[in-house]
Structure 1
Amino acid sequence: MVNRQLQQPGRKKLCQRGFTLVEMVTVIIILGILAVGVTSFIVFGTRIFLDSTSVDQVLSQSRFALERMTRDIRNAAPNSLRVRSDGSQWQCLEFVPIEAASNYLSMPVYPDAAANSGTAIIAPMPISADYMALIYPLVASDVYANPESTTGKLFSINSVSTAANITTYTFNRSVQFAEASPRQRLLLVSEPVSYCFLQGGSSVSLYRYADYGINHPTQLAPSSMGTGVLMAEGVTNDLASDAPIELEPATLVNNAIVMLSPEFEAVGQKFRYQQQVQVVNVP
């Protein structure tokens, strides 16, 4: 038996087809254009994100540094602020912070005889024997004096005891305060704090120094204060002609005012702070 395959009328022969070279090249070109566009969009978006992150980081650190600096300055003992600069490489603001305050009842104040103790109303804050007693400072030399002297306005406290809402402060020797406070204010202070703008390379950084002692009649340079804590970077002030700190000393009718004007830079953008800090504490 013979099998025959009949070809039906009008039936075409099937064949397989593929991409031509022109079609492949066209597709490659189109995909390349799309890839370049997508890549540029991604790179541009990433660059915007990185730039905004850098700006936000500088803004955050500068705001934190200025806020910390402002709070410390407002807590400064009256007439303890002083500013010093070498003219080009650094500028420092120094002050003595108040840790507690009260009103004294009995203190060895001139013309009373020297004594090794005194009493005051109990302070609302805890008192440490590491503090120093300060009464009626009128100039910086009243504050930056030897706390181990016999006559003056600043003395180291040896011990503290409280009974019946009265605190007794004991000194390690007989002392005599030079002047009485009109309001009988007793300021309990700790060692000085300094904020310094230091030139380093092409930019300026802000450092905070503490625990370097108080017996320094002449304000120290940053190199003599030990190791400072970095507070902010990217400051662009020219310390020779555009100092970031200005001090307006206290007068009989005005409190001391510190004017802060540091300028920061991030990814080519500069922004300057203009902030005035008033020291409301009075002798």
Structure 2
Amino acid sequence: MSKPLMINPRRRGGLSLQASGFTLVEMVTVVIILGILVLGVSSFLLFGTRIFIDSTSVEQVMSQSRFAIERMTRDIRNAVPNSIRVRSSGDDWQCIEMMPIASSASYILAPIKPLPSADTALVMQASDSAPLTKDQQLLVYPLRPADVYTSANGTTGKLFAIKEITNSALTNATDVEFERSVQFDEMSPRQRYFGVTGAVSYCFEKVTDELAQLNRYAGYGFNNPINQPPPANMGAGVLMAENIVNTIATNNPMAYSPGTLQNNAIVHLNPLFDVQGQSLQYHHQVQVINVP
């Protein structure tokens, strides 16, 4: 049976319907609870975002540093023997310079003392490396940097500019023509020659009192008397790495040990990187295994 409607005798011609809703205390309580939940969730999201940003920054610095060290290692290992030299300003920059090998093989006949001067030479072309070309200079038996970083336009020495390259009648051989009659100072014990085009430098440079950066310089000429960053004559460098702790004045990031009869030359790379307030230092040694 349906329940009868309750008629309110105090309200003229009206019906009494019971109304429902929220009190002010209940609404304030819900708002407080929702605020606590939002604060907790946002704190969790901010914490996770901060961890992601920090880990990304660390990975970026580590990847950048590994790339820079690997690139330096490859250039150093491909350097002409005894062409590496390290210089420093004391506190603003430190540079390592080397002469990359553009081509290399053995010579068959060359005007080397005590043979008389001549304007031609007969050399082999290596089948597994880049060929000797006329835009290169021919270098024989370098024993010190002065043999490498010198003029290629003289008549006696160890480095001479090439005028023309022509194929020889001998298999895998090439006739080299020089600009003039020349005479090499010394014969290589292994009859080895190097074709070179220009030097390359890596420089740790001061940015602030706390930080430094690594730049690579190339194409600044064959014989730069002073290898140092701008405003010298090395041109614009390519940025290789940032976030390096500036230890140029106190603990140089590079050191060079020249080769001896018993040991190969070694380059010591010890840059210190700053990663989110933490230090990451490399202790990397590169052997220069090429011999003159």
TM over 0.5: yes
User: Cα deviation per residue 1:97-150 (whole Å; 9 max; x = unaligned)?
Assistant: 111111100001111111111011122223322111111111111111111111
Given that 1:153 and 1:179 are in contact with CA atoms closer than 8 Å, whether structure 2 keeps it comes out as: yes
Whole-angstrom CA distance in 2 between matches of 1:128 and 1:49: 51
How far off is 1:237 after superposition?
3.5
The partner residue of 2:158 within 150, 153, 162 is 153
Output the amino acid matched with 2:162.
I
Partner of 2:102, secondary structure, is strand
Residue pairs, 1:127-276, within 5 angstroms? 127-163=132-168, 164-201=171-208, 202-216=210-224, 218-223=225-230, 224=232, 225-276=234-285
What's the C-alpha RMSD, in Å, of the aligned pairs? 1.7
One of 86, 110, 114 as aligned partner of 2:113: 110
* Local SS of the residue matching 1:25: helix
Cα 1:115–1:264, aligned 2, differ >3 Å: closer, same or farther? same
Q: Using the alignment, how far apart are the partners of 1:130 and 1:84 within structure 2?
A: 28
Q: Which runs of 5+ in 2 are unaligned?
A: 7-15
- Does structure 2 conserve the Cα–Cα contact (< 8 Å) formed by 1:237 and 1:243? no
* AA matched with 1:21: L
Kept in 2, the 8 Å contact 1:135–1:181? The answer is yes
Shift of 1:73: 0.2
Point out the more displaced range, 16-25 or 162-171: 162-171
For the pair 1:17 / 2:20, whether they are aligned, the reply is yes
8 Å contact from structure 1 (residues 196, 222) kept in 2? yes
CA contact (8 A) 2:125 2:132 kept: no
| Runs of 4+ off more than 6 Å | none
1:75 is matched with which residue? 78
Q: Given residue 218 of structure 2, which amino acid in structure 1 is its aligned partner?
A: A
Give, in whole Å, the separation in 2 of the partners of 1:177 and 1:6. Answer: 127
* 1:19-38 superposed matches below 5 A: 19-38=22-41
Unmatched segments (≥5 aa) in structure 1: none
Distance in 1, Cα, partners of 2:285 & 2:26 = 71
The residue matched to 2:193 in structure 1 has which SS? Answer: strand
Q: What secondary structure does 1:157 align onto?
A: strand
**TM value normalised by structure 2:** 0.90
Counterpart Cα distance in 1 of 2:53 and 2:240: 22
- Counterpart of 1:55 (choices 53, 58, 67) is 58
TM-score (norm: length of structure 1): 0.93
Partner Cα distance (1:176, 1:135) in 2: 11
Contact 1:98 1:188 in 2 (8 A): yes
